Structure formats: C-alpha cells, structure tokens
Amino acid sequence: MANNTWHYQLMYHKVDMSSFVDGGYYAIHEYYPSEDGDGWTEQPIPVDGESVEEVKQVLQAMLEDIEKHGVKDYD
C-alpha cells in the first residue's frame, strides 16, 4: 500500500535544448504517491519561508527526502 502523504522529490527533466550539456536538468517537486497513480507539481517548487530558520528547515526536509526517495524522471 502506498504512503499517501506528499514528499519532496528530486526529478530529472529531459529537454532537447543545446543550453543543457547533458540534455536536462534537476528540480524539486512536491510528489504525491497514490494507489491510483502518482502525481507531482507541474512546476518545480520554490525554496522560501518567513524566516531564515524556516528556509533552513525547508532545505533540510528537501535534502532528507532526496536521500530517502532518490531521483525520478519527470515525464
């Protein structure tokens, strides 16, 4: 059974543009696992907060989720 809570997900965006040496780039999205099919935010999410500490907490949560969930291709 899938965990139905969202998490930060590092995703690889494949693009056909000469400005990207390896043919793509990485960005963080909110990811929503579901038994009916996983979903994620269409656009990468910003890193923001109302204080420096809040931004640090968001960044730490992102790093922990990248470590836990790895990288998925953005399709």
Residues 6+ positions from 50 with CB-CB distance below 8 Å: none
Number of domains in the chain: 1
Kindly give the residue spans of alpha helices, DSSP state H, lying in 1-75: 52-69
pLDDT above 50: residue 6: yes
Confirm whether 45 is domain-assigned: yes
Question: What does the pLDDT read at residue 31?
Answer: 97
In this prediction, residue 1 has a pLDDT band, given cuts at 50, 70 and 90, of very low
Above pLDDT 90, what percent of the chain? 76
Whether residue 44 is contained in a domain is answered as: yes
- Residue 25's closest CA among 10, 41, 14? 14
Kindly state the helix (H) or strand (E) to which residue 2 belongs, with its residue range. none
Question: Is 2 part of any domain?
Answer: no
pTM of the model: 0.83
- Considering the domain boundaries, does residue 64 fall inside one? yes
- Encode pLDDT of 25-45 as tens digits: 999 999 999 999 999 999 999
> Is 1 a member of any domain?
no
**What residues make up the domain containing 26?**
7-74
Domain presence at residue 69: yes
